Amino acid sequence: MKSFDVPVQYRSPLINAIKARRKADDKMKKDFSPVALEIGSLTVLLARHFGFCYGVENAIEIAFRALQENPGRRIFLLSEMIHNPGVNADLQALGIRFIMDTKGKMLIDWDDITSHDVVIIPAFGTTLETEQLLRDKGIDPARYETTCPFVEKVWSRAGKTGDEGYTIVVHGKPGHEETRATFSHSRAHTPTVVVRDMEQAILLGRYICHELPDDGFYSGFEGQFSDGFDVSRDLQRIGVVNQTTMLATETQAIADYLKRKMLAYYNTPEDKAWERVADTRDTLCYATNDNQSAVLGMLQQQADIAIVVGGYNSSNTSHLVELCEAQLPAYFIKDEHCLLSAREIIHYDLHSHTERTTAGYLPVGRPVRVMLTSGASCPDALVERVIMRLALLTGNPDYINGVRSSWE
């Protein structure tokens, strides 16, 4: 796989050495067990896969190249490059400005953007409408486009499947940049509807089987279907694709559920399932799958707590938190500064959507075992700093050099 020129401040010699050794020992990526870092009385169980993925490193390389190639010019990002506050802050400190926020709210008026400006497309991609708007302004959206290749793969599959006569069902968060982009690209080919979770998929299944009046669909899925969508016409053949950062098992469960509903309602045998449901399993992102599988492998071990590092608005990171908190206390933090002390931690609560402070998160008076992973937009250097902070708070800073020397 291609290597990228990513700024050194995002790298970690320790984490890089650990990942390199694991890769050499497990080329086929079949071992999802964690690495156990013994740091005195602290054991850190480090997930097999975590951190920057191919698409994120590609986006960062292009963004920094845009800065180098355009001295003196105004440089804009459509929205956050990736969902990591540190990386986005670095780009802003270098002069890059965001045109809109992650929900699509304008921060800079389009009238202020001219053909002399540079505009970078973020890793999530963008809509066809925005691409055309940039062209109309004399800006080539492809010049500094950082759209993840795996997101583009979903667009390609959605387009091909739509051209074959299927309606596309997108499993994603309706307000997320990537979902908005995928929805735009898909609806250019075929009727498209977004489902955010299994609950909405079950509701969609009831409309597929005409168990509910069609009129209810338009209010229940408001803002989530393409123009001219006809429930009675457009739900007879479907293909499910995903926002690449969603929980892979949930996407597959949604696809399986809708397939069962379709085949049962239309009395279609399994060997002719293609008549009603397209096979779109290959739209699941490898990094999302690997990181989630690594968490499941990590959860086979025993630990006191889990810590997941990443941006609070990172979809893929939030799903790692969900997996962890199903089995043990899990804390979603944005950086090492959230570890206030051995007693208090600042973390993001997925359920209340608020940052909170929790006391007594670490056991006292005995050895501590901590599971640790991070999202696909989190720098390895940040993960190392969390390890160092945990070592300090548990009274084990003197053991760090030994851990480093055993890997580097």
In angstroms, the CA 288 to CA 285 distance is 5
Provide the total of helices (H) and of strands (E) in the chain, helices listed first: 14, 13
Degrees to nearest 5, angle at CA 181 with 232 and 253: 60
211 annotated active-site: no
In angstroms, the CA 179 to CA 244 distance is 9
CA quadruple 272, 273, 277, 282: dihedral sign? negative
Q: 10 Å Cβ neighbour count for 389?
A: 18
149, 156 in Cβ contact below 8 A?
no
**Quick check: helix, strand or coil at residue 331?**
strand
**Cβ-based burial of 136 (10 A; exposed 0-12, middle 13-18, buried ≥19):** exposed
In angstroms, the CA 306 to CA 112 distance is 45
402: left (phi over 0), alpha (psi -120 to 50) or beta: alpha
In angstroms, the CA 114 to CA 313 distance is 30
- The residue annotated as part of the active site, out of 57, 145, 178, 336, is 178
In angstroms, the CA 80 to CA 139 distance is 19
In angstroms, the CA 275 to CA 237 distance is 7
154, 242 in Cβ contact below 8 A?
yes
CA quadruple 10, 12, 15, 19: dihedral sign? positive
Q: 10 Å Cβ neighbour count for 11?
A: 15
Helix (H) or strand (E) holding 76: strand 75-77
Name the DSSP class of 33: P
78, 122 in Cβ contact below 8 A?
yes
| Residues annotated catalytic, as ranges | 178
